Amino acid sequence: MSKKILIVGSQGYLGSRLTGYLIDRGYHCRGIDTGFFKNGTLTAINSEDVVNKDARFIVKDDLEGFDTLILLAAISNDPFGHMSAEQIYNPSRDYALSIALMCKKMGIKFIYPSSCSVYGAAADGFLSEDSPTNPQTPYSINKLQVEEGLLAMSDQTFTPIALRFSTVYGISARIRFDVVINMLCGLALTSNKVTLNSNGQAWRPHLHINDACESLRCCIDWEPDTDKLVTLNVGRNEDNYKIIDIAEIIHSNVKGSHLNYLTTDQENANNDLIKDRKIQDGVDIRSYKVSFDKILKTLPKFECQWTVEKGIIDLLENLRNINLDKEMFNRREFYRLQQIEFLHHTQQINDDLYWVK
């Protein structure tokens, strides 16, 4: 009998890819999503079994009958308007831990996608799961707070899994163009420019979206032998790159493209979609190289199948096949901060990020 998986946040970038990925491999999936990004589709969506519901309103009845819950629902952009980081992020911490507690009481496996960004501004050398964390943004602080809550909750009856994902990239029906590889590929194809919004010297690990999905699939079928939260970095050691090196790979795979910087690119200088408000004076202080040795030793049958170069070539091919143009690339729905800001500014959602009825 196939395992039943509940994906909370199923209509986002990763959730839209993960659902089909698991169904194709024999799992039964249902989604729960509040719908902030449901209309941001780049390609056709296969039929979705989705309950339209805010994660804050989830109750035990919503979880009944499921073997595993994957909590993708989260805020993943900067604070905006007059709201503080606490007002934006504290509710997502609270509902993550509330849902986890329901899973604990009901005997449901709980998998939480965290982020390697918890390492923040780090010294030289590779960072393992035991290395000090140094989050630099409200998003990263929030991820760490949820991890800490899950650790406190874990015991012999409940072993949650936190997967610290590298920066995910690759094609999805609901793509994000506000992550570095996706954005630079989109820029290269639509403007013939690979435009960096920093000096490109920051290090990041990168993870193909299919490998992210496979790590989640492996965790569904894995029973950890511990009574503590399991924390795993997800990625490949070889896929730690400086942003400038990522840009060079994309530049070399798009003939006629030019590599430049936002500070000197007049065409894109005022494009709010590709700016990163966390970068000041061309310097991104978030820089970290991550070790992925533990996941190879710990998680049975998991190994990344995609290299960054192979993944970039595949993404460019997919974007060319759908004839990506500037109008499509600049659609607000593909940029998390701008979409949430729009919903708030047009009073479709209120200060607490609830839909206005």
How confident is the chain (357 residues) per 10-residue block, as mean pLDDT?
94 96 96 95 88 96 98 80 82 95 98 95 86 90 96 97 98 96 96 87 95 98 95 97 95 93 58 53 73 96 96 98 96 94 94 89
Residue 95: give its domain's CATH number.
Answer: 3.40.50.720
Indicate whether 295 belongs to any domain.
yes
- 25: nearest Cα among 306, 173, 213: 213
Which residue type sits at 60? K
Handedness of CA 27, 230, 70, 79 (dihedral sign): negative
Res 312: pLDDT: 98
Indicate whether 225 belongs to any domain.
yes
Res 357: pLDDT: 76
Indicate whether 267 belongs to any domain.
no
Indicate whether 332 belongs to any domain.
no
Indicate whether 257 belongs to any domain.
no
Q: Say if residue 142 is exposed, middle or buried (CB neighbours under 10 Å; 0-12, 13-18, 19+).
A: buried
Res 280: pLDDT: 47
Whole-number Cα distances in Å, 313 to 132, 182, 257, 308, 349: 35, 11, 15, 9, 38
Do residues 117 and 276 make contact, with C-beta atoms less than 8 angstroms apart? no
Res 323: pLDDT: 97
Indicate whether 51 belongs to any domain.
yes
Indicate whether 12 belongs to any domain.
yes
d(CA 109, CA 68): 5
- 235: nearest Cα among 174, 182, 178, 288: 288
Res 264: pLDDT: 55
Tokens of 319: 């974007």
Query: How many domains are there within the chain?
Result: 1
Residues 6+ apart with CB under 8 A from 200: 242, 243, 244, 245, 247, 261
Residue 3: how many CB atoms within 10 A of its CB?
A: 15
In terms of residue numbers, what domain contains 165? 4-176+205-238+288-305
Residues 6+ apart with CB under 8 A from 324: 186, 189, 190
Q: Given strand 230-234, what is the order of strands in its sheet?
A: 50-52, 28-33, 4-8, 68-71, 109-115, 161-165, 230-234
Whole-prediction pTM? 0.92
Res 308: pLDDT: 98
Indicate whether 341 belongs to any domain.
no
Handedness of CA 22, 297, 135, 279 (dihedral sign): negative
Which residue type sits at 191? S
- 301: nearest Cα among 215, 228, 224: 215
Res 272: pLDDT: 57
Res 11: pLDDT: 96
d(CA 54, CA 56): 5
- 353: nearest Cα among 99, 51, 57: 57
Residue appearing with tokens 């793509």: 175
Measured between its terminal Cα atoms, the distance across the chain in Å is: 40
